[in-house]
Amino acid sequence: MTLSQSREYAQVNRSKDVPWYLPSINPRLRGDALTKLLKEYSGISEDKQEAHLLAIREKAYAIYPMPCIGLFWWLVLGLSLHPAYPALLQFLKTAPQKKVLDLGTCLGQDLRKLAFDGVPVSSLYGCDIMPAYQAMGHELFRDEPTFGSQFIHGDLFAREDAGDALLATKGSWDVIVLNMFLHAYSLPQQTQAAARILALLSSAPQSKILGIQAASTTAGAHVLKYPFLKPGVEKEIWRHSRESLVTMWEEVAKKAGVKVRVWAEYRDRVELGTKDDAMRHTKAKGFFKGEAGDQRRLFFLIERI
């Protein structure tokens, strides 16, 4: 962990008295896909799943109190909702030597879904700044003997000369997954991250970066403050619109001399229920002042051509 990230870790508000720490699991988040994964992959019967998930959430929140942990968004198996997911499975199954990196993997839920859907475990790797998430993922899915050590403790923002384990994998990944990750940073940081992520990607045609992030219909900077952070602490982050996200990736690729095809599209937040349910939530619960009604979930795909 870099000095700046150690400082940021110390500044986060670790309280449970925040809007994104839910006392119970919204039934909409526990869909059939998750129930089946836990039952058939992890061997956890349906009657024991809720207690298991609540216990895991407590431990994961103690490691790092991210809103997505408190809100149980990790139960949604977001990658499997991506429009490109069926094509991704086909891409990975027909070429088992392909390598997938889930960047900001958290508990590794998307990797387990890929494994359950037939992608060889030997192709699947996760990376996170929090090494404790590796053991937490094994505890969640009860698969340490079979999932092994498919985890890289790395820092995307490390100095080039720091010998970072993630940056050492430059040019080696066929697929990089970015779920609910980049939106936690400022625009300059996101641009730097995008350049480094693109450098991690294999130079082979059809190598791809795909994922999901929080977005807005109007791109702009927002300031994180209490209750996200401790009182008196502030941090700027950038909410992309569909158009600004496409522009960022196209400009980063052009600067690197890499030809890519970029796609991005807003999609309904299926974990909130119907489209009307999602819109009611969006209008009522903008994370930032003035954002209510504008926030969206943005799916994207960047593919080398």
CATH code of the domain covering residue 282: 3.40.50.150
Span 112-149, pLDDT tens digits: 999 999 999 999 999 998 899 999 999 999 999 999 87
Q: What is the reported pLDDT for 292?
A: 57
Does residue 2 sit within a domain? no
1 within a domain of the structure (yes/no)? no
Contacts of 16 (CB under 8 A, 6+ apart): 61, 65, 70
Maximum average pLDDT range among 47-51, 64-68, 149-153, 269-273: 47-51
Number of domains in the chain: 1
Listed in sequence order, the residues at least 6 apart from 237 whose beta carbon sits closer than 8 Å to its beta carbon are 183, 184, 185, 186, 221, 222, 223, 224
Is 165 domain-assigned? yes
pTM, rounded to two decimals: 0.91
The predicted structure's pLDDT at residue 26: 87
Sign of CA dihedral 100, 106, 109, 115: positive
Whether residue 293 is contained in a domain is answered as: yes
Which one has a higher pLDDT value, 177 or 287?
A: 177
* Residue 13 in domain: no
Average pLDDT over residues 186-209: 98
Bridge partners for 262 per DSSP? 302
**For the chain, what is the radius of gyration of the CA atoms?**
19
Which pLDDT does position 10 carry in this prediction? 65
Q: What tokens were used for 263?
A: 């796609």
| Residue 28 located in a structural domain | no
Query: Do residues 190 and 248 lie in contact, with contact meaning Cβ atoms separated by under 8 Å?
Result: yes
3 is a domain residue: no
Question: In which domain, by residue range, is 204 found?
Answer: 77-304
Do 297 and 266 meet the contact criterion of CB atoms below 8 Å apart?
yes
- Asked if residue 70 is part of any domain, the answer here is no
